[in-house]
Amino acid sequence: MVMKQIALYGKGGIGKSTTSANLSAALSLQGLDIMQIGCDPKRDSTRMLMHGSFIPTVMDLVRVRGEAALSLSDIVYKGFNGVRCVEAGGPEPGVGCAGRGIIATFQLLEKFGALRGDVIVYDVLGDVVCGGFAMPMREGYAQDIYLVTSGELMSLYAANNICKAIKRLSSRTKSTCRLAGVICNAKNQPSEEELVSEFARRVNSSLIQFIPRDRVVQLAELNRKTVLEYDPDSVQAAHYRSLADRIMKNTRFTIPTPLEIDDLESLAIEYI
């Protein structure tokens, strides 16, 4: 099987890390070899896969020990069901350049030949604020980009912005990066599924999975586990398994058509 590389992008706080961790867990339960890479200085992407512990980040290790002293086993940690976890890390808030940190991490992962397995899941910080955070979408990395959004306007706005980045990158020669679908991590608003589904259609994509809001996610998190581990028989776990299935079977990869802000607003008004 050809290695699949997918990246999740979306507004800060929308649930990318929760979705990524549960997706990685669900994929690993299909018997696949999974690697999840947290691309955010907050470094908490893989925490639920690691039973609540913060793993050392690539950037911290490079800083403390130096690149020459590092090997693959120093930066990759085995989590739930053998999911291999990596955190890029980065500077403290307000200093330095986190984007450059992502670029440096990718160079190091390349050098170590770490990017292997059946599926690599890139969990990327809030918005594509600079070239560094577009790194996972560049040639040789994630081909399938999933947008995580709720039905709230600001969340759709961020998703729409990310569409602009995907559009720019995907129109480059030899680029393999495509919009693969929209994941609705719901806030339980009325008509939310319809709204996000229509948004996905308008940006030339489709809603790949609707994940309703469920208390079990918070309970699992408080127990430092993914939902798949904490309560595998729950309805929510089934949603994540369904997401994993659909992602593996997905064949619709598009160049997105971002909306103008006015169109986005009138779309949101239609579904109030």
Partner 1 sequence: MTSNPSPLNISRFAGCTLTGALSVTTQVRDAVTIIHGPKGCTHHNFSLLHATALDNDSVILPDLVSTGLTESDIIYGGEGVLERTLDAAAARPVSAIFVLSTCIVDVIGDDVAAVCRKDRNVPVIPVPTAGFLGGTFQNGVNNALNAVAQTAKPGVKGWCVNIIGEKNLEHEVNENFAEVTRLLTALGIPVNLRFLHQCSMNDICRLGAARLNILRDDEVRSVGEQLKKRFGTPYISSYPAGLEGTISFLESVAKKFGVRSSRAVRDEEALQDDLLAGFNDIRGSSITFDPAHNTSESFRIASKVAERIDITIKTHSGCRVPPELSPPVGTAGVRRMLHRWRRAIHA
3-state secondary structure 53-75: CCCCCHHHHHHHHCHHHCCHHHH
CB of 116 to partner 1, least distance (A): 25
Tell me, by CB under 8 A, how many residues bind partner 1: 13
Beta-sheet strands, E only, within 111-225:
119-124, 144-149, 178-185, 207-211
CB of 104 to partner 1, least distance (A): 6
CB of 82 to partner 1, least distance (A): 30
3-state secondary structure 174-188: CCCCEEEEEEEECCC
**Annotation says 16 is catalytic:** yes
CB nearer to partner 1: pick between 100 and 187: 100
Residue with tokens 């990310």: 162
**Annotation says 11 is catalytic:** yes
**Residue 42 interacts with partner 1 (CB under 8 A)?**
no
* Strands of the 34-39 sheet, one edge to the other: 77-78, 84-87, 34-39, 119-124, 4-10, 144-149, 178-185, 207-211
Amino acid type, 27? L
CB nearer to partner 1: pick between 64 and 222: 64
Query: In the range 91-150, which residues lie near partner 1 by CB under 8 A?
Result: 91-92, 95-98, 100-101, 104
CB nearer to partner 1: pick between 90 and 256: 90
CB of 40 to partner 1, least distance (A): 14
**Whole-number Cα distances in Å, 247 to 145, 207, 224:** 11, 11, 25
Compute the distance between CA of residue 104 and CA of residue 109 in angstroms, rounded to an integer: 9
CB of 105 to partner 1, least distance (A): 9
**Residue 86 interacts with partner 1 (CB under 8 A)?**
no
Among 23, 39, 59, 124, binds partner 1 (CB under 8 A): 59
Residue 35 β-bridge partners: 84, 120
Segment contacting partner 1 by CB under 8 A, of 59-67, 147-155, 162-170, 242-250:
59-67
Length of the chain: 272
Q: Is 269 helix (H, G, I), strand (E, B) or coil?
A: helix
**Residue 68 interacts with partner 1 (CB under 8 A)?**
no
Residue of 33, 118, 127, 245 marked active site: 127
Query: What are the residue numbers of the active site?
Result: 11, 16, 42, 127
Question: For binding to partner 1 (CB under 8 A), which residues are involved?
Answer: 59, 62-63, 90-92, 95-98, 100-101, 104
